[in-house]
Amino acid sequence: MATSEAQKRATAKYQRNLASVTFRIKREELERYKATAEKMGLSFRAYILLGMERLAKENDLH
């Protein structure tokens, strides 16, 4: 099924509010963090965001 023009517009509108973050990490560290996230029942994205939120809160930055 082809994507409708309305769906394309909706996707583009949604993506305008998102930012992309890129950083480099050793592959073995990445696998370790991914495994930890999975054990916690979190996606890797959620795991990273949770860590950032906790650090900000602990340092009274949020």
**27-46 tens-digit pLDDT:** 999 999 999 999 999 999 99
pTM for the predicted model, two decimal places: 0.74
pLDDT at 24 over 80: yes
Does any domain span residue 13?
no
Q: What angle do CA 24, 46, 7 make, to 5 degrees?
A: 95
Ramachandran bin of 18, using left for φ above 0, alpha for ψ from -120 to 50, beta for the remaining angles: beta
Does any domain span residue 38?
yes
pLDDT level of residue 58 (50, 70, 90 thresholds): very high
Structural domain tally of the chain? 1
Give me the domain span that covers residue 33.
Answer: 24-62
Does any domain span residue 4?
no
Does any domain span residue 17?
no
